Amino acid sequence: MNNVLLKRDLTGEQLSIVQSELDKKSKSKVIMYLLWWFTGGVGGHRYYLGDVGYAIGMTLTLGGFGFWALIDVFFIGKRLEKKTEILERDIIENVKNYTTSKIAN
């Protein structure tokens, strides 16, 4: 489900909680690209994103002998967006569940 639709039912207070948690937990695009620049050959940017399987593969092959690391620069931005979207969805669900359980008690 789209995060915009999930946020539609939240109050202003809940939205500010979601945004605050997202700001605390989300990854920085600048840091990710700096990691790619300096540690791309060993997958540092993939470790940062939490893609440990890809990162280990990059480490063992030295970034696919450089080719994988070079090509990866075009894919990691979209991967960061997807990870942030998933994180936001999880935060929204947690806020909704917390509010529902608080009302029930």
- 3-state SS, one letter per residue, for 25-55: HCCCHHHHHHHHHHHHHHCHHHHHHCCHHHH
pLDDT tens sequence across 63-98: 989 899 999 999 999 999 999 999 999 999 999 888
Prediction pTM value: 0.85
Question: Structural domain of residue 54, as residue ranges?
Answer: 3-104
The answer to whether 26 and 87 are in contact (CB under 8 A) is: yes
N- to C-terminal Cα distance for the chain?
28
Q: Taking residues 22-51, report their average pLDDT.
A: 95
Percent of residues, the chain, with pLDDT higher than 90: 74
In total, how many domains does the chain have?
A: 1
What pLDDT is attached to residue 19?
94
- Closest residue by Cα to residue 88 from 28, 19, 13: 19
